[in-house]
Amino acid sequence: MTQSYRLIKKTLLATASVILLMGEAYASSIGGVIESTGVGSLVRESSDEVKADVGQEIELNDTAQTAKGRMLIKFLDDAELSLIEHTKVYIDKVYYDPNPSKSKMVMKMALGTARFASGRLGMVDKKNIDISTPTATIAVRGTDFTTTVDELGRSLVILLPDEWGEPSGEIIVSNDAGSITLTEAYAATLVSSIATPPTAKVVIDNITPATIDNMFIVNPPEEVKQALEEQLADEQDKDMGALDVDYLAFDELEKDFSDYVDDGVYTRLDFDALSGDFLTDVQDVVEELIRTMAELEDVQDSQGSGKARLVNAKWGYNTDSQYSVFEEDGGIAFYRNVNGVISIRFLTGGGISLFTDVNGYKDTITADGGEEINVFVTQQDF
Amino acid sequence: MNKYLMVIASLLVSVMAYGSDDNEINIDQSGDTLTLYIDQVGYGNKVGGDDFTQGQSTASSITGDSLTFDIDQIGNSNVLYGTVIADDATYNLIWTGDSNIWDWDIGYVGSADSSTLDVSVTGDSNTMDFDQGYVSSAERLDLDLTVIGSTNVFDVDVETDDVTFTMEVTGDNNNINTLQNDGFYQTLTFDLTGDNADVDINQISGTCAEATTSCKGIITMDVVSDDAIIQINQKDTAGDS
């Protein structure tokens, strides 16, 4: 009896120790927030929500989310995950083993625009990095890409260049219906649903990482729109031609009545006046309204006291000068990646004049009246 | 320690003092694996290749591979003239004081691959003329330059492939001129804090390396200033602005 009691006691103690150790392991940090602006938070597995301040540790099963804010997370292997406004990412499995082939990194991009750059420390084999969206999975053979996911789960994936403008590697975007491999800088594909294959690969011109935001899926770049239209046209064409009909597959005589009850052919008999999903339409309208309101809010912000007044440029990407103009660290940033990268941030509020003389564009952009700081950018002979 | 002593013994160094203000070091050195430590404290310290009796000197001459420099000049009106031909060299140079002059060539002739420079200047009215590469073939330069002070004049010419150049300048009325020429993989990261700066940045991509499809330069600047003139010039052919 005493022996049995001791055995039970030992077993209970051992079990309790294992549980405690597991708890310790699971609660341990796998990275941290290194940049944070505006409103953002981390929702723990316990449903506790903590503010995403700089220095805040990232734990397993955290959900990182932003409202009107941005966040940059760095993991222990130097992998980086950045979230722009209105973005949500679920950090599922991230664990590091001394053997990189046993390490694992799994994340789900749930909503908004997130950028993922795999770690440079080689602590996780890239085949063990699994990034997914509601409609696609992304196999990482490269290092740097963005995903933009809307409320319907549609996912736009863009492979980014490295600092030299070269492709950062290769990523494979796939779902149940097919897959596509992206190998070029700014190569992109759009996945509309889990049952629809990714669109054909397109390369988007005249963008930079800084210009990729949630609007990219609400109003996709022209190249993506065209790929989507071609995909829709292809799908509609499937049953149009006589060559598409397989007469050898005719087996109608083998069917009985029950086979026709739910055959997908919509007739008058199938009509149910009460079955209309009106809510879907209303929901779409509401979502569109929310998006429009958010856009209007941004416009109001840019015209309010918060932002500098620009002349000959607008906030965001400018098609004429090919500058992207945005706020960063309390200042104004100009970014241009054409025949060389010019990236200038003005971190004080003085007037700025940016004279630019490059192939195809010559003009002066001013902020807040200009002429306190004068910058002359020339590019020649390209 | 023995290695250090052997290195010092292999130097042809003469140290001459001209009055209480001037410490003068003349260097003419050749050989690999040199480790050179110089700490000069005071007014009018000089390092060159010849005596400064006429107020001028030839540059000190140092040739060899796998060299390490650790030179501190603390005080005003210090002078460092130098010519180095070396691969795999590391330079840690510190000036603290005003009206110092640094004229330093690395690989003006010969080779100058794999150079790492960490230069820190704290003071006003300093003059710096730094050249790396020039007509010689040079690859891989990591140059960090930190300047804290006003009215400094810096001219940095780099003719080297694969350059990472980081510069932080804090102070007013500084005049900075940089040239990255005839090479691929040119990056410049420049933080400027101060008013009335006059900055010229020239980044001229040369021929792309074999099997390289792009050799675009990258210029990244942070500017905290109420009044500055900044000229940025990117070209794909030779020539300074």
**Cβ–Cβ of B235/A379 closer than 8 Å?**
yes
**Cβ–Cβ of B236/A381 closer than 8 Å?**
yes
From B174's Cα to the closest Cα of chain A, the distance in A is 14
B199, closest residue in chain A (CA to CA) = A375
CA–CA distance, B67 with B86 (Å, rounded to integer): 7
B196 touches chain A (CB under 8 A): no
Q: What is the CATH number of domain A25-233?
A: 2.60.120.1440
Identity of the residue numbered A313 = A
* Closest residue to B222, CB basis, from A345, A375, A380: A345
Residues of A within 8 A of B208 (CB-CB) are: none
**Cβ–Cβ of A339/B232 closer than 8 Å?**
no
Q: Is the pLDDT of residue B118 over 90?
A: yes
B208, closest residue in chain A (CA to CA) = A164
Which bin fits B39, alpha (ψ -120 to 50), beta or left (φ > 0)?
beta
* Confidence tier at B207 by pLDDT (50, 70, 90): low
B162, closest residue in chain A (CA to CA) = A164
Q: Is the pLDDT of residue B28 over 60?
A: yes
Q: Chunk chain A into consecutive blocks of 10 residues (it has 382) and report each block's average pLDDT, rounded to whole numbers.
A: 47 41 51 90 89 90 89 89 90 81 85 85 80 87 81 85 79 87 87 86 79 67 78 62 52 53 44 40 51 47 61 84 84 84 84 86 87 85 51
Interface test with B, best of A163, A164, A358 (most B CBs within 10 A): A164
**Cβ–Cβ of B225/A350 closer than 8 Å?**
yes
Residues of A within 8 A of B192 (CB-CB) are: none
pLDDT in tens, B51-65: 776 666 677 889 999
H or E stretch covering A188: strand A187-191
Window 71-90 of A, Cβ < 8 Å to B: none
B135 touches chain A (CB under 8 A): no
Choose among A202, A203, A201, A200: nearest CA to A232.
A200
* Confidence tier at B12 by pLDDT (50, 70, 90): very low
**pTM greater than 0.80 (yes/no):** no
Beta bridge partners of B205: B183
B215, closest residue in chain A (CA to CA) = A164
Interface test with A, best of B222, B231, B241 (most A CBs within 10 A): B222
Which residues belong to CATH 2.60.120.1440 in chain A? 25-233
Helices (H) and strands (E) in chain B, counts: 1, 19
Q: Is the pLDDT of residue B182 over 90?
A: no
Calculate mean pLDDT across residues B92-117: 90
Reduce the DSSP state of residue A102 to 3 states and report it. helix
Please give the ipTM for the structure prediction.
Answer: 0.82
Please state, for a pLDDT cut of 70, what percent of chain B lies above it.
80
A346 touches chain B (CB under 8 A): yes
State the count of interchain CB pairs (< 8 A) between A and B. 95
* Closest residue to B216, CB basis, from A341, A345, A380: A341
B115, B92 in Cβ contact below 8 A?
A: no
pLDDT in tens, B137-155: 688 899 999 999 999 999 9
Q: What pLDDT was estimated at residue A246?
A: 54
Which string of DSSP letters, residue by residue, matches A6-43?
A: HHHHHHHHHHHHHHHHHHHHHHSEEEEEEEEEEEEEEE
CA–CA distance, A196 with A174 (Å, rounded to integer): 10
A130, A146 in Cβ contact below 8 A?
A: no
From B202's Cα to the closest Cα of chain A, the distance in A is 10
Q: Where are the domains of chain B?
A: 2-235
A303 touches chain B (CB under 8 A): no
Residues of A within 8 A of B237 (CB-CB) are: 380-381
* Closest residue to A373, CB basis, from B220, B225, B233: B225
Q: What pLDDT was estimated at residue A272?
A: 45
Q: Which of A172-186, B2-16, B42-56 has the lowest mean pLDDT?
A: B2-16
